[in-house]
């Protein structure tokens, strides 16, 4: 015991946060005790409320405290008949920010990773198959991360889509906008050559 | 609104933590929602309890939920008749780890900083003067940080100690153990020369 029991407990509990070890936890504890007591009390309330009430959307599987999330419940989203498959809720937010997509999402909450025991059922592919079987969608956009696991997951899902006669597409890989060719890695550059498009 | 209301609220509230902006808050929120729900509920409880119950020790001013902290309440600590003045509770923990000091502490919870409106009363020097007046202490060790403000605070307190006829000492500045002379800054090196000690 280095400090008083309550303070020790707080410093200990703060270490569940990602990237926070004993020293940072101590710094955080003193910081909020000295300067942000009221804010920290509201943080405590929203933490507890979020942890006990937030579950998964029954349709798209994203994190939400509602039964059906706001995007799935929006009738304008249904007319597009496009489903975009992403790995996590943060990806939904990133795509929403582009204002380029007005269909619906399906959130895997991870990717296929057989070595870690994460198979098709763990990422909700049974639920995705049901959605595809409903006939509500014409196209499936596979927007998983451009990593080995993300690619494998995308190709696995593309096969399922084929079974249900739904068109599957993969987001384009290539040179990031604003980047310089010189600094782009070889794999990205070869993707950008293979995926070249005719100008008008 | 990027996510559901509760999730947005959580991401917003997490930003009171030092060094946490919108992106990190989002990452933290998803991390704990996916992997540490139970731990996060106990964090919420210890946060709320700490924020509402932790106050200052009536004697040494450190952060504690007790009226008198464990160190001040320890009778073995009183017989030493030495008081060590530090800037914060983390400094108490650091000095305790050395096992070199068995007297009592006085925690300023800051340092003199007239430009920020932090004068002698804000760092509890009136309370320190009362302790010195009690005649319970023979020596005052000034262990404030070796910064401009810390030094100024130390010299200011040394003058108060003199008024009460209590010996005041300052912790030694010099080359850190295990460091290399080549990489030590000039100010530290000149302190280590001025503070040189005869070998036996």
Fold of A66-170: Dna Topoisomerase Vi A Subunit; Chain: A, domain 2 (3.40.1360)
CATH architecture of the domain with range B5-53: Orthogonal Bundle (1.10)
Average pLDDT, chain A: 91
State percent of chain A over pLDDT 70.
Answer: 100
- Closest Cβ–Cβ partner in A36, A49, A93 for B2: A93
What tens digit of pLDDT does each residue of B84-102 get?
Answer: 999 999 899 899 988 889 9
User: What one-character-per-residue DSSP string does A135-169 give?
Assistant: T--SEEEE---SSHHHHHHHHHHHHHHHHTT-EEE
- The residue among B15, B43, B67, B86 with the most chain A CBs within 10 A of its CB, best to mutate, is B43
Please report the pLDDT score of residue B1 as a whole number: 60
- The residue among B47, B62, B64, B118 with the most chain A CBs within 10 A of its CB, best to mutate, is B47
Which of helix, strand or coil describes residue A154?
Answer: helix
Please report, to the nearest 10 degrees, the dihedral formed by the alpha carbons of residues A130, A131, A137, A143 taken in order. Answer: -110
Averaged over B65-72, what is the pLDDT? 92
* Domains of chain B, residue spans: 5-53, 75-170
Averaged over A91-102, what is the pLDDT? 90
- Closest Cβ–Cβ partner in B9, B30, B66 for A90: B30
ipTM: 0.84
Which of helix, strand or coil describes residue B140?
Answer: strand
Taking the CA atoms of B24, B30, B36 and B37 in sequence, report the sign of the dihedral they define.
positive
State percent of chain A over pLDDT 90.
Answer: 70
Residue A200 pLDDT exceeds 80: no
What tens digit of pLDDT does each residue of B20-38 get?
Answer: 999 999 999 999 998 889 9
CATH code given to domain B75-170: 3.40.1360.10
Residue A1 pLDDT exceeds 70: no
Please report the pLDDT score of residue B194 as a whole number: 86
What tens digit of pLDDT does each residue of A116-172 get?
Answer: 999 999 999 999 999 999 989 999 999 999 999 999 999 999 999 999 999 999 998
């Amino acid at each position: 015991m280095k400090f008083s029991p309550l303070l020790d407990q707080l410093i200990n509990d703060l270490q569940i946060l990602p990237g926070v070890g004993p020293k940072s936890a101590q710094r955080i504890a003193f910081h909020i005790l000295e300067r942000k007591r009221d804010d920290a009390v509201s943080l405590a309330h929203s933490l507890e409320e979020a942890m006990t009430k937030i579950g998964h959307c029954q349709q798209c599987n994203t994190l939400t405290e509602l039964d059906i999330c706001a995007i799935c419940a929006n009738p304008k989203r249904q007319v597009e008949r496009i489903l975009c498959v992403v790995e996590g809720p943060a990806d939904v937010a990133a795509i929403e920010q582009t204002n380029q997509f007005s269909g619906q999402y399906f959130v895997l909450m991870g990717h296929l990773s057989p070595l870690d025991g994460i198979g098709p059922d763990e990422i909700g592919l049974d639920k995705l198959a049901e959605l595809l079987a409903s006939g509500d969608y014409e196209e499936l956009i596979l927007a998983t991360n451009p990593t080995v696991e993300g690619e494998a997951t995308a190709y696995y899902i593309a096969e399922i889509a084929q079974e249900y006669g739904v068109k599957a597409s993969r987001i384009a890989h290539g040179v990031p906008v604003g980047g310089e060719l010189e600094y782009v890695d070889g794999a990205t550059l070869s993707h950008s050559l293979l995926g070249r498009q005719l100008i008008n």
